[in-house]
Structure 1
Amino acid sequence: ELAKESDVLEFLDSLHKGKLSRNEANYAQALHACTKLKALELGRQVHFEIHRSGFEENLQLGNHVINMYAKCGSLAEARAFFDKLSPERRNVFTWTAVMSAYAQTGHCKETALHLFHRMQLEGVRPNLITFAVVLEACDSSRFLDDARLLHKLAMENGFDGDSVVGTILVRTYVLCKSLDDARKTFDGLKLKSLVSWTAMIQAYAEKGLDKEAFHLYRGMGQEGLQPDRVSYLLLLGTCDRPEKLEVGKRIHSQLAAGGFERDTAVQIALVTMYGRCGDLEASTSVFSTIERSCDDEICWNAMLGAYGQNGHPDEAFALFRKFMLLGLKPSRPSFLTILGLCESLHTARTLHENVVESGLEQEFTIQTALISCYGKCGGLDDASKIFDGMEDHDVVSWTGIVETHARYGRGGEALLLFYKMQQDGSRPNNISFTCILSACSHAGLVREGCQLFESLVRDHGLVPSELNFGCLVDLLGRAGRLDLAEGCLSRVALDRNLRMVLLGACRNQGDVERGRRAVGDVFAAKDSSSEAGYVLLSNLYAASTKK
């Protein structure tokens, strides 16, 4: 067996000295070794020997040569050799080998499909492997029509009902974002493999269709199939809010019974799941089992995120310091998490120093996170310095610097930055408009704020969010234009939060009658918003009585 590059070199030396026979089997073994080792230069030498020995006409060796060049990353040489072959010397394996080379290359997938159709024109019938290879090229929604055509051709070529092709088609349709095609194909499979079940669970999980994903999970168990690691990771990913905690616990119990509890990726997913579902104690418990053995920042990031999501910044910073003391190097996700929790200017500057020490100060997302962090912590000058030093800006960084100026009452400067953002080519989004409308509200820029709200729809084609409307109502309320604020809200499907904003403005302006109207359905629900509504309204009555 030629297991190392030195073995291939020894093989070539033996050929030259006549110690080995120049035959198909030996050359095939050498090409296979070069393919496995990804040894392109040695593969070229073996190919040269094949050519010199007159074996290049051998059909099987030709297929091996194409496969070797393709797997070693030389697509041009694979194609050049293929194009030299006459049609009669190209069989289904030759075509499949060159198609595989293109299908696995990101920017050449269309060529794989073109070669498939050309193969058919030359009268070569595809086999199961051919369909598997060319379907691999259909990995995004732009290839959906191609996938459907290949599905039809697979049926016409006798592969209708084949479990291998069917499973690949399910996965292909999932990648092409066609849930209906994937499910129809899945339901038509006579023999459903673990891969096909997992592909469908993935499709539903990615669409946020949790009920369907869990229904399939239960169906898999009824069919006697044990979910694999990937299935459990997908299912844990769907448990992302407190209402899903009990479901998450059941999955934890079942994966433990299946022997997956000690898998590092599963443990990290459990830390994340419990954090998102609000069970910090369980999250900490799982983390404690892997803390000593885990030298990968991913597990630490999961715990940092759990602390952050559950309002425990002090514990998050303690964990981050421990992480640093252990000599582990924080990555971009680590800094993004901890910067988002920072509330002290001193700490922000210390973290900034850590970023520089880690060599991440030029990372675009880190720079944007630092701007936001300094903005929260009172470091307007620090935020501006980072922003001005960035090579490029996107809507997120622009919005961050606008929000920072708005936070510190620099409404006029925020407005100038907002206009400059558009001149720079960045299109504001709803969050950008929330920031600038808030700035206008606190700076008393009523006319400018109203014009911006109109621009949101007219010039940018955005649908105003609840926060956008809330800022507009606050802007008009602060300016004493409660009539306009009330009229504005009458044009939208009202939410209790928006009514609360108007009620607060009525309290500030002492408008009892309008405040009574604003209450509306705030009192309809027996929750915290109705209690706050009673407080605001009673304060409004009290203020009016004093007058």
Structure 2
Amino acid sequence: MVCPLPSISLCMLPSLNFEQRHSFRSSLKPTSETLQRELFHKFNSPFELQQVHTLVIKTGTPLSALPLSRVASICALTPSFPYARRIFQLVDQPEISLWNSCLRDFAESDSPFDAILLFHQLRSHNVCPDSFTCSFVLKACLQLLDLFHGRIIHAFVEKLGLQFNLVLQNVILHLYSSCGQISDAILLFNKMPQRDTVTWNTMITQLGKRGDADSAYEMFLQMPERNVRSWTAMVSGFVQCGKPKEAVDLFTKMEEVGLKPNEVTVVAVLAACADLGALNVGRRIHKYSDESGFQRNIKISNTLIDMYIKCGCLEAARDVLGGMKERTVISWSTMIQGLAIHGKADEALELFSEMTQTGIKPNAVTFIGLLNACSHMGLINEGYAFFASMTRDYGIIPGIEHYGCMVDLLSRAGLLQQAHEFIKQMPIMPNAAIWGALLGGCKVHKNIEMAELAMRHLHELDSLNDGYYVVLANIYSEAKQWDNAARLRKLMRNRGLKKTLGLSSVSIKEVAHEFVAGDDTHPQFQEILKMWNQLQVHMRLKGYIPNTSVVLLDIDEKEKEKVLSRHSEKLALVFGLIRTPPGETIRIFKNLRICEDCHASFKLISEIVDREIVVRDRNRFHCFKDGCCSCRDYW
């Protein structure tokens, strides 16, 4: 039974001044079309709706002339909800469709929880939802990552027999996986009576985000049909899981099947090239991006800057930044950090000044780049000034990374006691990276006592990190304390720790060739060894003496020199010299810090062969040219 509408008259109107009353009464005289234009779309509250309703009655205008979707949105979350329902029941239009329109607006608004509140309102007044109702509320749940209400809607989907609605099933799948309920998502995926590419892409994307590249790739291979989004999701998944080589390889296969990458694909594969150091592939993607008109995509430009920096091409990175019509703080910060790790501290500080002059405020990442720049070049005063400026000038509270940069700055400069005092005064608990920075400074400045102090803290914070034991063992070895070095190696064995092998790669014609320290199984090893011996003759004439102190083993000098000659970066360099034409820059990527002997060797070799050699190690870039290194031996 339809409840009668309340009797509405002019006396029910709110308190109006004389001019407003006169204007309101005058509005009764124009045509209904004018009324609709002037009044029907201007009410902003249930009470104003009643005013308009009064005019509808007095002028004999059909009730359907009211903007019913506005009626719904005005009354949805108020005590006037039943009033709106009575209006809807008097017009020839399904009531739920009117509420669905309101639900959609709420779900897409800045307050998506309003859609969930309206859904509760509908259920409390026995308004039966349909598939669109569930879809809009699920969209709100997805925006809010509201798993609790999402499960409730899922139950309604089952209750209403909407299991075969693929759109609803895909949204529920997306919700579960986005909320971290991968097991529930997989269970739903396996039970779905039908799937489309959206279903598969959702699972691949979410598995990749959670680091399960193997499961994502298995699903990718099982897909009956793949589109560009499918390939992009898998490429992105490999990148997020730390598998850049697999990402680039898959992208190559995507090209082979004739699919053109979109802007999202370009960002993903450029990120993979950055991690892998695949400069040639990155350049090719850059060309494709320009030809496809993607130049205005800021995310692509930022990723290009990062790619060129990580491939050791500072000039190309500068060109990209210079060509950007619009720059974000990410653009500037990426370039500042790039200049820092290439040892261009002065240029990094100049770029920061240029950035602030354009009106862009730095963020926390910007200051990490600035502090790194100061650290890599020993700019103590400048580092302190930037650290203080963060909070004083920009209201940025330093994080653990900023404190780590400061400890690294002081430790590299040999101010080990000052670095220790800085750590003790930190307002936050120092982590392993903080003490690791101090330990690294102790190695450079051969301070055993402070190194042992740092190691005691590292033993408590990160006892399974083999790198710290190796650094301390190096310090002992350089001091000829073989017993202590042996004790550390034994401790590592007892804990099941193995020294991470040095791994270096050099890319030749888009193919990465990898070398492991001490490995003599490479097909061209004898040729590599022969050329290294030839290079050593020239190096010794220039005063080269092998730095055997970096070899931890207590063996004779000849054996130590043999170990040095088989360091992975040396093998990669000589292979690059053999396989590339004269004058071509050789780019090497190493998983660990380059050792002192390799660093001294590469400076001499760059002069002997008249080549530029770029090495990216775990910490920074070294650009060897004409017998010098860009780090100025401060590393």
Relative to structure 1, the CA distance from residue 191 to residue 406 in structure 2 (aligned partners, 3 Å threshold; closer, same or farther) is closer
2:49 aligned counterpart, secondary structure? helix
SS in 2 for 1:389: coil
1:136 — aligned with what?
174
Alignment match of 1:352 (pick from 362, 367, 387): 387
Q: Which of 404, 429, 433 is matched with 2:465 structurally?
A: 429
- Label 1:528 to 1:295 Cα distance change in 2 as closer, same or farther (>3 A): closer
Which string of whole-angstrom CA distances, capped at 9 and with x for unpartnered residues, describes residues 465-511 of structure 1?
A: 348xxxxxxxxxxxxxxxxxxxxxxxx98569xxxxxx8558999x9
Task: Find the aligned partners of 2:349 and 2:189 in 1 and give their Cα distance.
Answer: 53
Offset of 1:218 from its aligned partner? 0.8
Counterpart mapping for 1:80-91 below 5 A: 80-81=120-121, 84=124, 89-91=128-130
Are the structure 2 counterparts of residues 232 and 11 from structure 1 closer, same or farther at C-alpha, using a change threshold of 3 Å?
Answer: farther
| Alpha-carbon distance between aligned partners in 2 of 1:163 and 1:526, rounded to the nearest angstrom | 44
Q: 1:374 maps to which residue?
A: 410
In 2, Cα distance between equivalents of 1:437 and 1:399: 14
What is the distance in 2 between the residues matched to 1:219 and 1:373?
48
The amino acid across from 2:399 in the alignment is E
Q: Distance in 2 between matches of 1:391 and 1:50?
A: 52
On the 8 A contact 2:470/2:499 being kept in 1, the answer is: no
Matched, 1:237 2:271: yes
- Write the distance in 1 (CA, Å) between the matches of 2:411 and 2:96: 68
**1:28 matched to 2:64:** no
Task: Work out whether 1:416 is the aligned partner of 2:448.
Answer: no
Q: Name the aligned partner's letter for residue 350 of structure 1.
A: A
Partner residue of 1:77 out of 117, 121, 125 = 117
Distance 2:264 2:369 in 1: 25
The 1:163–1:192 alpha-carbon spacing in structure 2 relative to 1, beyond 3 Å, is same
Question: Would you say the 8 A contact 1:100–1:112 is kept in 2?
Answer: no
**Partner secondary structure for residue 77 of structure 2:** helix
- Equivalent of 2:183 in 145, 150, 154: 145
Amino acid in the other structure paired with 2:124: K
* Cα-to-partner distance string for 1:181-228 (whole Å, 9 max, x where unaligned): 6556556666644433322332344432134332244146x24xx432
Distance 1:178 1:442 in 2: 42
Q: How does 1:322-337 map to 2 (within 5 A)?
A: 322-337=354-369
Give, in whole Å, the separation in 1 of the partners of 2:218 and 2:451.
Answer: 53
Distance change in 2, residues 1:118/1:149 (3 Å): farther
Describe the superposition over 1:126-174 as per-residue Cα deviations: whole angstroms up to 9, x where unpaired.
Answer: 41221121121243695443333323333x2xx34x4444544544454
| Deviation at residue 258 of structure 1 after TM alignment | 0.7
| Alignment check: 8 A CA contact 1:361 1:367 kept | no
For 1:12 and 1:175, the matched residues in 2 are separated by 49
SS at match of 1:259: coil
d(CA) in 2 for partners of 1:181 and 1:265? Answer: 28
- The residue number in structure 2 matching 1:472 is none
Q: Given the alignment, which residue of 545, 556, 563 partners 1:514?
A: 556
Aligned match of 1:484: none
Tell me if 1:306 matches 2:306. Answer: no
Question: Any idea what SS the aligned residue of 1:137 has?
Answer: helix
Give, in whole Å, the separation in 2 of the partners of 1:448 and 1:10.
80
The residue aligned with 1:384 is 420
1:151-170 alignment, distance < 5 Å: 151-154=189-192, 156=193, 159-160=194-195, 162-170=196-204
The answer as to 2:139 corresponding to 1:104 is no
Q: 1:451 to 1:100 in 2, by over 3 A?
A: farther
Give the number of the structure whose alpha-carbon radius of gyration is greater: 2
Measured after TM superposition, the shift of residue 175 of structure 1 is 4.1
CA apart distance, 1:521: 6.5
Instruction: Work out which of the residue numbers 44, 64, 78 in structure 1 matches 2:77.
Output: 44
Moved more, 374-383 or 72-81: 72-81
Q: What is the letter of the counterpart of residue 396 of structure 1? A: A
Q: Following superposition of structure 1 onto structure 2, how do residues 108-257 of structure 1 map, counting pairs within 5 Å?
A: 108-109=146-147, 112-113=150-151, 115-116=153-154, 119-120=157-158, 123-139=161-177, 143-154=181-192, 156=193, 159-160=194-195, 162-175=196-209, 177=211, 179=213, 182-183=216-217, 186=220, 192-206=226-240, 207-208=243-244, 209-219=246-256, 222-223=258-259, 226-240=260-274, 244-257=278-291
Cα distance, 1:15–1:189 mapped onto 2, change above 3 Å: farther
* Structure ranking higher in helix proportion: 1
- Call closer, same or farther: CA 1:140–1:406 in 2, change over 3 Å: farther
Seq. identity, %: 18
SS of the residue corresponding to residue 89 of structure 1 reads coil
Contact persistence 1:398–1:421 (CA under 8 A): yes
Q: Distance in 1 between matches of 2:390 and 2:560?
A: 49
In the alignment, the residues of structure 2 paired with residue 184 and residue 115 of structure 1 have an alpha-carbon distance, to the nearest angstrom, of 30
Structure 2, unmatched stretches of 5+, are 1-35, 57-61, 90-94, 503-515, 521-545, 575-596, 602-635
**1:339–1:369 contact (8 Å) kept in structure 2:** yes
Q: Distance in 2 between matches of 1:49 and 1:331?
A: 47
Cα distance in 1 for residues equivalent to 2:136 and 2:457: 53
Partners of 1:163 and 1:508 in 2: CA distance: 55
CA RMSD of aligned residues (A): 4.5
TM-score by structure 1 length?
A: 0.71
Partner of 1:363: 399
Q: What CA distance in whole angstroms lies between the structure 1 residues aligned with 2:568 and 2:44?
A: 81
Per the TM alignment, residue 235 of structure 1 is displaced from its structure 2 partner at its CA by 1.8
Q: 1:295-338: per-residue Cα shift (whole Å, max 9, x none)?
A: 52221223223333444333333323333454543222222122
Whether 1:92 and 2:131 are equivalent positions in the alignment is: yes
TM-score (norm: length of structure 2) = 0.62
Q: Does the aligned pair in 2 maintain the 1:201–1:216 contact within 8 Å?
A: no
Question: C-alpha distance in 1, partners of 2:281/2:404?
Answer: 36
CA–CA distance in 2 between the matches of 1:278 and 1:427? 34
Q: CA deviation at 1:277?
A: 1.9
Contact 2:390 2:397 survives alignment (8 Å)? yes
Q: Give the unaligned 5+ runs of structure 1.
A: 35-41, 468-491, 497-502, 537-547
What residue is the counterpart of 1:487 in the other structure?
A: none
Q: How does 1:461-476 map to 2 (within 5 A)?
A: 462-466=497-501
Partner residue in 2 for 1:482: none
Work out the CA distance in 2 between the residues paired with 1:234 and 1:334: 23
Report if aligned partners of 1:241, 1:276 keep a CA contact under 8 Å in 2: yes
Q: In structure 2, the residue corresponding to 1:125 is in which secondary structure?
A: coil
Residue in 2 aligned with 1:479? none
Greater strand share, 1 or 2?
Answer: 2
